[in-house]
Each structure stands twice: as structure tokens, then as C-alpha cells.
Amino acid sequence: MFVSAFFPVIDVDAVDQIKTVELYVGDTPTAVSSQVNHAFSIYIGDNISGVTTPVKSALFTITGVYTSTGSPTLQAQLNSTGATSKTFILPNVGSTPTPFEILYSDPTNSINPATAGSYSHTLNLIPTNMTAYGLGAHLTLTYRYVPTSCDDGQPGNQKIKTDRQYVGDTPTAVSSQVNHAFSIYIGDNISGVTTPVKSALFTITGVYTSTGSPTLQAQLNSTGATSKTFILPNVGSTPTPFEILYSDPTNSINPATAGSYSHTLNLIPTNMTAYGLGAHLTLTYRYKPPSCGYPPFGDVVSTVFDTTASSDGPAYNSMSWKGTLPANTKVKFQIATSASSSGPFNFVGGATCTSTDYYESSGQDIPVEISCDPTFHNNQRYFKYKIRLCSANDCTSSGADTPQVDDVNISWSP
């Protein structure tokens, strides 16, 4: 007798891979001239165990607008640790509000986890001889990881990704509220993931002039609890570029399941006129990857076999098979018998002799007793067998390999 079953071949990644995610770190709506501390966390869902120095780049982008007195500097460090400190010298701009963007990377590689998980840090920003407006920062993290046999792993190994999308733009000059309706789409499985959205960072840009003391208020869905009012320097009639980082403090963007979600970003300028006012969203979230690899199991059902060619039926003794049984896979089977070649045939097996139970094999050429014979099969002339090939030991999970059965032997006595 012969039976063989094959599952689709999957690609196996042989070398380490690399990915980049972006995360909100913090924003400061008020004008600041002394130290501010932005606590943030990162999550790594990939396997980085055994990878030498997995974090290849941890780049903080620090932005704002500043004025200065004397010789201005902006010191950046991580976790209040002096060894991580870098002090950036800025030009003395006096009372002229001037945009800036600084790139900072910790020279001691403090962000360097050894295993997957969540990690908390604090970015310290210390201005000297300067006042910063709209001071904010985000982190671009690039790391190396060990891929699984599936490109994205299995559902139990949660992953993280970053999407960037357009929110809105305003071609005209504006000095009153504008509303940018937008939608996000989550196609991944986030059901059951605790707080799936790890960072929802709006980057708001434009050029402005001002009268009096200008502010730009940002909020989501016209909800006051989401509001932050960013103080900007008075630039008068001098057109001045700006970039503001805004993240909703109430985490309104926090879907529980895959799908489309609609929101509105409200921007409310006061004592200012904004030109080319626009925004985009950088969304980083945690999700469960889909099952991949081989299906949990595959069944092969034989044709009908005649044991005696007479009216007297047999006693069924044991079953064995030949083939291959890779580690963490399983082969199990059931037997169905009947006094008629046309049936009915009811497959049963295991200790309970039910349709949901199976005889389980520990390897090829190892006979397994057909213990259900006395009650269910004795003197039944015709039989069929069902082989279940499981790619994982539990026969319910997707595995990285599959057994193969080439020959089946059923032993019976007349």
C-alpha cells in the first residue's frame, strides 16, 4: 500500500534581516529655556537573541524654533547619564526666531536590547542661553534581527511596524481653524494586542507671520482633552518656517481590530497667519502576524480494501508505516471498517474510539495496536484508513516542516 502527501514549499530566510521603525518621543507646547525630560518606550517583537549589537542606528530628530541670548547650546542625553551627552552649539540669533533641526545619537549605545520586549528610556534636552518653542523629538530606530522560517513569524510572536500617511494640506493662507479629515487603515490582526498603537505622531509644518503672541492649537476630533497649544515666538511680518510635533495625550487613535478608522485633525492658529499649512501622520503599531508555513495538518484517505474475499471477516491487529518524521511533527491515523464494500465507513481511533480521536505513531516501522477492533472492527471484511500528517506536534499550529508517509501496513488475522 502507498500513500504520500506534500504541502506547499515555503522560503526560509538564511541570514539576519534589518528593519526601521519610527516612534514619538515627546513634544513641549510651552516655551522652554531649562531642562525638559521626555520619557518614552520602544518595543521589539523580533528575535534579536544572539545578534551582536542588534541596534544599528538610534537616531533622534530634535526640532523647534529658538531665540537666543549670548552663545546658545542645546545639550541632549539619555537617561540622565553624562556619558551619553552631546552639546550642540547653535548660532546666536538674538531675538530673531529661527527654526532648527538637530540629529542626536547616543555615543554609548544605551539603546541596545539583547532580547525582544519593551524598554523604557528618557531623552533629556537642556537648552542654555536660548528659548525653544515647539521643542519636540522622534526616534528612528534601525535594528538587525533573526528571521523565522516565515517572513513575519507566527501569531504568537507579535511584531511592530511603521506607516506614514498624508493627513492634509491648506494651499491658502489661514488665520483661523482648519480641519483635516483623514482615515487610517489597519490590515493586520491587532485583536487582543494590549494598546496596539505605540506611536501616533503628527508632523505639522508651514511658514508663518504673526501679530501679538502667536499660538497653534492642535487637537483630534474636536475633543478638548486631546488639545495641545504650542507657543511660537512673535516673528511679526517676517515669514518664518516651522515644524511642530503633536501626539494626542489621550491616545484617541487606538483601534482594537483591523479596519478603517476616520478622524479629523483640527488646527487652530491664533495671532498668526500660516502659509502652506500641512500635516502627515507617522503611525507605529504592534500586531499579530498571520499564520504561515505548512498548514497544521493534511489528511489522506485510502481506497476500500478487501481483507478475505469471503463472508468471514478479520481481526485487525496493528498498523505501521514507512517514510520520514521530522522533529516536532506527528503522524496519526484512524481505521474505518464495514461488512459491505459500499460502507458505511466510520473512522475511529485512539483510546476513546471516537471520530475525533486518533492512534498516534512515534515513528516509522513502529506498530501501533488497533485497540478499537473488538468492539468496532471485528469480522468487518472491508476497511479504509485515514492518515493525518501534522506539521506541528499539537496538530493545530502551523509548523516549519512536514512528515511524509510512503508505505502503510495494516496487520490482520483471518
pLDDT tens, residue order, the chain (414 aa): 333 333 333 333 335 778 899 999 999 999 999 999 999 999 998 889 888 889 989 999 999 999 999 999 999 999 999 999 999 999 999 999 999 999 999 999 999 999 999 999 999 999 999 999 999 999 999 998 887 656 555 555 678 899 998 999 999 999 999 999 999 988 888 998 989 999 999 999 999 999 999 999 999 999 999 999 999 999 999 999 999 999 999 999 999 999 999 999 999 999 999 999 999 999 999 998 876 667 888 899 999 998 876 566 788 999 999 998 988 899 999 999 998 999 899 999 999 999 999 999 888 899 999 999 888 998 888 999 999 999 888 888 777 788 889 889 888 887
Amino acid type, 250 = T
pLDDT at 150: 62
Sign of the CA dihedral with 37 first, then 43, 47, and 49 last: positive
**CA angle, 229 then 27 then 242, to 5°:** 70
pLDDT at 47: 86
For residue 175, CA distances in Å to 120, 208, 211, 212, 280 come to 39, 10, 11, 13, 20
pLDDT at 158: 79
For residue 51, CA distances in Å to 17, 46, 54, 71 come to 11, 11, 5, 43
Task: Give Cβ neighbours of residue 119 (< 8 Å, ≥ 6 apart).
Answer: 41, 42, 43, 44, 111, 113
Closest residue by Cα to residue 158 from 195, 111, 129: 195
How many Å apart are CA 172 and CA 240, to the nearest integer?
Answer: 16
pLDDT at 389: 92
Cell numbers for 318: 496493528
pLDDT at 4: 34
Torsion, CA 208, CA 170, CA 216, CA 207, rounded to 10: -20
User: What three-state secondary structure class fits 311?
Assistant: coil
Question: Can you give the length of the chain in residues?
Answer: 414
| 27, 36 contact by CB (below 8 A) | no
How many Å apart are CA 259 and CA 261, to the nearest integer?
Answer: 7
Task: Give Cβ neighbours of residue 30 (< 8 Å, ≥ 6 apart).
Answer: 231
User: What three-state secondary structure class fits 226?
Assistant: helix
Which CATH architecture best describes the domain 297-413? Sandwich (2.60)
Closest residue by Cα to residue 231 from 222, 219, 218, 220: 218
Cell numbers for 324: 520520514
Cell numbers for 50: 544572539
H/E element holding 384? Answer: strand 382-390
Q: Taking the complete model, does pTM exceed 0.85, yes or no? A: no
Question: Cell 523580533 sits at which residue?
Answer: 46
**CA angle, 121 then 122 then 128, to 5°:** 155
How many Å apart are CA 286 and CA 162, to the nearest integer?
Answer: 9
Domain residue extents for the chain: 17-287, 297-413
Task: Give Cβ neighbours of residue 255 (< 8 Å, ≥ 6 apart).
Answer: 184, 186, 190, 196, 197, 261
Torsion, CA 88, CA 94, CA 99, CA 103, rounded to 10: 0
Could you list the beta-strand ranges (E) of 112-224.
117-145, 159-170, 178-186, 197-220
How many Å apart are CA 46 and CA 152, to the nearest integer?
Answer: 9
pLDDT at 149: 59
pLDDT at 401: 80
How many Å apart are CA 43 and CA 146, to the nearest integer?
Answer: 16
For residue 369, CA distances in Å to 275, 313, 315, 339, 365 come to 82, 18, 12, 21, 13
Strands 159-170, 259-287: pairing kind: antiparallel
Burial class (CB in 10 A: 0-12, 13-18, 19+), 146: middle
| 297, 386 contact by CB (below 8 A) | no
